[in-house]
Structure 1
Amino acid sequence: MLETLQRNASAGASSPTPTVEGVLAGWREGLTIINLRCDADDPAVQEAAASVLGFRLPMKACTYEGDVVRAHWAGPDDWFIIGPSGQAEVLLQRLRSALASRHHSVTDVSSGYTVLHMSGASARAILAQACPIDLHPRAFSTGACVGSQFFAASVWLWQTDEAPVYELLVRRSFMGYVWLMVERASSECGLVIRRVL
């Protein structure tokens, strides 16, 4: 018999008796998510982006810059700009205005993605089950980001703290599947569901 992998991603239940070694997880709903394509080798482009974001676009592969608003490297001319809820229109307009004289593409993709927050003592171990990348601190630490798989779902993963704290950019159509797999992978250590702003 086939088992459905579709779930209501917002309605998952905690695993029985979560422990201090468990995982804390929750969706960061409503974030501003913008895809920016441009030639960041052009100093004028970097200056224009910095005038809006407050920092230069990261040029090193698999890194991100910023704090409240972050720019995640996704390719040589490709970034995900992720910021607080309700900022998409403002960021779009400011980026388009600043980059108007340069070839670029700025697209609001907020409706197509959401972000999963994961922390706790077992967060790295859970992700190691799901992602075929080396998550040891010597290879992946705060400031790192990478495109990978979370079991069968394509995601973008980054680390925000050495605690460790991770976030995953997930296509909305895969929310239910990703959450189900988080529940399954954390069945032994325990899962605490939390609301993340």
Structure 2
Amino acid sequence: MPTDILARPDARSARTTRAAHTTAAQALHRHWLQDLAVLNLRGDPADAGFTGAVAATLGVALPLQACTTTAGTGPFGALRLVWAGPDDWFVLAEPGRAPALEAALRAALAGRHTAVTDVSGGYHVLQLAGAPVREVLAQGCPLDLHPRAFHPGQSAGTIWFKASVWLWRPVDGDAAPLRGPQAPVFELLVRRSFAPYVDLLLQRTTLECGLAGEGPRP
């Protein structure tokens, strides 16, 4: 059975000592966004009336290509839309926008076979930025995150260790509601109940490079 090096005090101490000598520029920066509005939207992407009504309401078009995201600014402020399945999307908006967004979408889609659900209380968004971000994510994620394989604007449902997450790369300069201390490289939609676990694994997997930023609030 392989030995868990993180459980060995001597290895942990040596790694912590090395991390203490890293600079802020070398560290992985994390920023937890725990108050964003998150809606789940279901509908038929082949129905032009559905996609048109969503675009007119939000001011941002739905991503119809599998495993992609779109972002922009509309009547409800900055938004990100994440493809989650053939008829399934996440709509991320600024804090406090969920009730108005839900009401507007329901009104615009009345009479169509759709579903709009406020799931804000069940998810947080985690921003990860910095030179070691791919190496850290690769320790617990089976996806190929090399720039040639995972481009800005792409998204995927995956796992990070034992946590189910949605992962994407923002397009530089997009108008997403996700604003951290520096330009993000990767962002993850994490179930609220898994946030402490994900942050603990971040601490364990960044002992060599260092970790900056605050963890999730209780």
How many angstroms apart in 2 are the aligned matches of 1:143 and 1:119? 16
Percent identity at matched positions? 49
Structure with larger RCO (C-alpha < 8 A, sep 6+): 1
1:174 aligns with 2:194: yes
2:138 aligns with 128
Unaligned runs of 5+ in 1: 1-14
Q: 2:62 aligns to what? A: 57
1:186 corresponds, among 198, 206, 214, to: 206
- Once residues 98 and 40 of structure 1 are traced to their aligned partners in structure 2, the CA distance between those partners, rounded to angstroms, is 15
User: Does structure 2 retain, via aligned residues, the 8 Å contact 1:25–1:193?
Assistant: yes
The 1:59–1:94 alpha-carbon spacing in structure 2 relative to 1, beyond 3 Å, is same
CA 130–86 in structure 1, closer or farther in 2 if over 3 Å, else same = same
Q: Does 1:112 align with 2:122?
A: yes
Task: State the superposition RMSD in angstroms.
Answer: 1.8
* Corresponding residue to 1:138 among 143, 148, 167: 148
Distance 1:176 1:150 in 2: 13
User: Aligned pair in 2 of structure 1 residues 108, 18: CA closer, same or farther (>3 Å)?
Assistant: farther
Unmatched 5+ residue regions in structure 2? 1-18, 73-77, 173-182
Moved over 3 A (4+): 15-18, 161-164
* Other-structure match for 1:43: 48
Count the aligned residue pairs.
Answer: 182
SS in 1 for 2:116: strand
Alignment check: 8 A CA contact 2:70 2:82 kept: yes
Secondary structure of the corresponding residue to residue 184 of structure 1: helix
SS at match of 1:65: strand
Q: Structure 2 counterpart of 1:182, which letter?
A: L
Could you say if the C-alpha distance between residues 164 and 115 of structure 1 is closer, same or farther in structure 2, counting changes exceeding 3 Å? closer
Q: Which amino acid is the alignment partner of residue 40 of structure 2?
A: N
Give 1:17 deviation, angstroms: 4.6
Map 1:24-103 to 2 at 5 A. Answer: 24-67=29-72, 68-103=78-113
Q: How many Å separate the matches in 2 of 1:172 and 1:75?
A: 21
Instruction: Report the residue type matching 2:26 in the other structure.
Output: E
Which amino acid in the other structure matches residue 192 of structure 1? A
2: distance between equivalents of 1:174 and 1:76?
A: 25
Please say if 1:21 is aligned against 2:26: yes
Secondary structure at 1:114's aligned position in 2? strand
In the superposition, the TM-score normalised over structure 2's length comes to 0.79
Corresponding residue of 1:9:
none
Who is 2:9 aligned against?
Answer: none
Question: 1:101-158: per-residue Cα shift (whole Å, max 9, x none)?
Answer: 2110000000011011100111111111121001011111210110000111000001
Answer whether contact 1:124 1:164 (CA < 8 A) is retained: no
Normalised by the size of structure 1, how large is the TM-score? 0.87
